[in-house]
Amino acid sequence: MSENGFPSLRLVPKAEAPLSTRDFKTDQEVRWCPGCGDYAILAAVQSFMPELGIKRENTVFVSGIGCSSRFPYYMNTYGVHSIHGRAPAIATGLASSRRDLSVWVVTGDGDALSIGGNHLIHALRRNVNLKILLFNNRIYGLTKGQYSPTSELGKITKSTPMGSLDAPFNPLSLAIGAEASFVARSIDSDRQHLQSVLRAAARHEGTALVEIYQNCNIFNDGAFEVLKEPGTRDEALIRLEHGQPIRFGAEGGSGVFRGPDGELFTAPVTPDNEARLLVHDAHAASPATAFALSRIADADTLHHTPIGVLRDVERPVYDQLMESQLATAAAHRGPGDLATLLAGGDTWTVD
């Protein structure tokens, strides 16, 4: 780990003086709807960035299309607001050619999982050094309220007046299935937790996928209310901590256990079963438990929704591998010489 604690930013120049939240705010008027969860996420990210200790000009935010994708305009860094679904591809080109940059992708459930699903899964399997923030509000906001790939089955929307027929994606299950080396979830309204997840993502070498539950107060208001309400959130949320037994509920009265069939289940913690509580291991080589955790929530009620880092493992990083092939080629064959290249092969001379 490098001196600033972010090994993935090893090649990124350090800031000469500490930066502040204000350094990351732009002069642009923020144009999200009043009350949108995106404001909270923006504030959390802006106040987190100085912690990285890197030069602001070496930070790039890349986005696609959708409400979330306006994000780069509000970050006083380099930024590209691209086209629908393609941000991971564009960011891959940037990150794999500029290892001195910290590259972040901001996307949404429609952008990342519908039109851009292919790019997302391939970025994850390649393990390019990208930090992907997926704002999941389970609805299409910018196009005014159609169902999204994470909307629940039967959802009534403008395009599904009789209810959606689509089974939704579970973004974290999808990411783990796509060989993601870092998978985490947080909530827009919990700044402290969100920043802890951003911190872990920023440390991670390779692609990090952070799903952020984000409230769309216009088209899908209250979608995650059960996870936020003081009366329900303790029962509904499972806060994962690496190395800790997984407990939740008031006073940690409930926990996650592994049954004799290998499946995970939740149950009240008793003196008898306390020793058998599942201990969270984000670094487990096998993705099996992380996958099981990603599916432990009740899809209808969102009860037992895990947040935090589900998976964080080391795997070869694409841009490092690419760089090392260039270095190997130059070491073996010497730096390329154009004249030699052009005159290679069989040549003849005409006088």
Query: Footprint of other proteins on this chain (CB under 8 A)?
Result: 13, 26, 28, 55-62, 65, 72-73, 75-83, 86, 89-98, 100-101, 118-119, 122, 322, 325-326, 328-330, 332-336, 338-339, 341-351
Instruction: Give the contacts of 127 (CB within 8 A, at least 6 positions apart).
Output: 179, 181, 206, 207, 315, 316, 317, 318
Cβ of residue 72: shortest distance to other proteins, in angstroms? 5
Nearer to other proteins, 75 or 292 (CB): 75
Instruction: Give the contacts of 44 (CB within 8 A, at least 6 positions apart).
Output: 191, 194, 195, 198
Helix 37-48, helix 191-203: angle, nearest 10: 50
Cβ of residue 342: shortest distance to other proteins, in angstroms? 5
Task: Report whether 73 contacts 27 (CB < 8 A).
Answer: no
Residue 164 CB neighbours (<10 A)? 18
Nearer to other proteins, 5 or 93 (CB): 93
Residue 317 CB neighbours (<10 A)? 22
What secondary structure does DSSP assign to 81-136, as a single string?
E--TT-HHHHHHHHHHH-TTSEEEEEEEHHIIIIITHHHHHHHHHHT-SEEEEEEE
Q: What SS3 class is residue 316?
A: coil
Kindly list the strands in the beta sheet with 247-248, ordered across the sheet, starting from the edge strand earlier in the chain. 247-248, 254-258, 264-268
End-to-end CA distance of the chain: 62
Nearer to other proteins, 275 or 341 (CB): 341
Cβ of residue 246: shortest distance to other proteins, in angstroms? 35
Cβ of residue 84: shortest distance to other proteins, in angstroms? 8
Cβ of residue 347: shortest distance to other proteins, in angstroms? 5
Nearer to other proteins, 45 or 60 (CB): 60
Cβ of residue 15: shortest distance to other proteins, in angstroms? 10
Task: Report whether 37 contacts 216 (CB < 8 A).
Answer: yes
Task: Report whether 215 contacts 209 (CB < 8 A).
Answer: no
Cβ of residue 117: shortest distance to other proteins, in angstroms? 11
What secondary structure does DSSP assign to 135-171, as a single string?
EE-SSBTTTTSB--TTSPTT--BTTBTT---PPPP-H
| Both structure tokens of 6 | 């972010």
| Both structure tokens of 218 | 């216009």
Cβ of residue 163: shortest distance to other proteins, in angstroms? 32
Nearer to other proteins, 271 or 335 (CB): 335
Cβ of residue 75: shortest distance to other proteins, in angstroms? 8
